[in-house]
Structure 1
């Protein structure tokens, strides 16, 4: 009996969330197990250098191959390509300035990313992945977060939903905290409402799932902060959906951008749109 791909897709759509989750876990495990370390290395090299080789130090395109070096990855000896820049004489590899630099467990990264998406703790992730410690995953997580922070998002398209949120300023890990007593798990601000004791985080997302999320400073959001953060990603072809905070309205008016503003009860505040 021949089963069509369309029939399989229809059957998958009928699965409940728990069954879909188990299916995804199975496919990820199968794909990870079937892909060798050498295949992963070749794919990374191909993706990174698809537009040509470039020096990570001086951006020169005058690059030559400079031999190979051996390293142990998951108990297997693997030879990696080394390159040298003819301009600055620096040597580098395909992993230089990437989250995978000096990583010895390449075939476990995919599973770890899935664990991060699911929100698992480092200890639980280590148990699910196997043969790796939560301490190693701690450094991997920071590598990934650093890489994500450096990624430049594309311009927003169409409708852009935007909102700001505030967190009490934290100095966790500081041994000598000035101007206040140490506190445990949260605490409360000295002043009522939003003040300079809170950190402002702006989140914006369009219908193509292009997402911006970043801390903008202390206290209330201003139009200057908004313009500096994502002004170059917006145009008068966008439509903003925000709450009633006046900085959004002032910014949209100055940039000639249409805006819908909503009250906390969900009713549209802006008339005539």
Structure 2
């Protein structure tokens, strides 16, 4: 619209009735949402923008496409935008992204989020896991001081799979065997006293020394004090890794011995179970995404849709 026409249109706005003003606001909402998304992405990428093909930072503007600024790399000649190479590339309805991320901050179900934003439930499900694909990697690089580690177990689920490697059962069922077995997914959580947390889905059944070396050793500071239960795998791991190790035995009635306890990590387990229950069953293959989602929400670490959008394109809120 030309400037003169826009000024004439703007002068007539006070004469609109209340329903007409509501219609104007509703019509402008998608455009405003798209502007917010584009601005948030551009601001996040400005300092780290580079060619996804050759990693060169020498690029220049090269027109627009689908509402996003495109760039051409001076070194390899390829064109790209700020979403190229991210899980959000080629996702549509960008004007609704921030509204959808607000529903994720509220931990709404797939269908509730779809209804709130106005998209199909399949789109809602696809968006959830696209936004969490990189956000789940937003983890501290090391645990220091006193670090607690413990496992929690969830009944494995093949929800949504067309082929099962076991007989089918009703959702929300129980394991056929008592105790820890191959029917349970093992989630290993380690947390230091500053609240920094790492978690891993190690597989089915009890955690092993090899899995502890694979997951825990890279993130534990050499001077850390590791506190766990008396599981033999932890003892072997600490001995082989040369890490100071203390244990508490809840079965023997020992919960706290001075500063030696695992109450922080057990409290994190409890919060995760209570939060996960609202989704009425989660497929085992998506557990890492839900662990990353809970870590983003825990303690209000990520509190805005813009912050969650940055994490979704790999620009993390914390220093890793």
TM-score of the pair, normalised by structure 1: 0.69
Residue 69 of structure 1 aligns with which residue?
64
Matches within 5 A, 1:184-223: 184-223=170-209
Q: Does residue 91 of structure 2 align to residue 91 of structure 1?
A: no
Larger helix percent: 2
Instruction: Check conservation: 1:63, 1:83, Cα contact below 8 A.
Output: no
Q: Cα distance 1:44–1:271, how it changes in 2: closer, same or farther (>3 A)?
A: closer
Structure 2 CA distance, aligned partners of 1:152 and 1:85?
31
- For residue 47 of structure 2, the aligned residue among 44, 47, 50 is 50
Instruction: Check conservation: 1:198, 1:219, Cα contact below 8 A.
Output: yes
Larger strand percent: 1
Q: CA deviation at 1:254?
A: 2.9
Residue 157 of structure 2 aligns with which residue?
170
Structure 1 CA distance, aligned partners of 2:60 and 2:248?
58
Structure 2 CA distance, aligned partners of 1:272 and 1:202?
21
Residue 119 of structure 1 aligns with which residue?
107
Q: Cα distance 1:39–1:183, how it changes in 2: closer, same or farther (>3 A)?
A: closer
Q: CA deviation at 1:152?
A: 5.2
Structure 2 CA distance, aligned partners of 1:184 and 1:217?
22
Q: CA deviation at 1:202?
A: 1.0
Aligned residues: 231
Structure 2 CA distance, aligned partners of 1:263 and 1:145?
36
Q: Cα distance 1:37–1:110, how it changes in 2: closer, same or farther (>3 A)?
A: closer
The two structures, once aligned, show a CA RMSD in angstroms of 3.3
Q: Which of 1 and 2 has higher RCO (CA within 8 Å, sep 6+)?
A: 2
Residue 124 of structure 2 aligns with which residue?
137
Q: CA deviation at 1:225?
A: 0.6
Instruction: Check conservation: 1:243, 1:263, Cα contact below 8 A.
Output: yes
SS of 1:213's partner is: strand
Q: Cα distance 1:209–1:109, how it changes in 2: closer, same or farther (>3 A)?
A: farther
Instruction: Check conservation: 2:230, 2:247, Cα contact below 8 A.
Output: yes
Residue 248 of structure 1 aligns with which residue?
234
Instruction: Check conservation: 1:154, 1:210, Cα contact below 8 A.
Output: no
Residue 182 of structure 1 aligns with which residue?
168
Q: CA deviation at 1:272?
A: 11
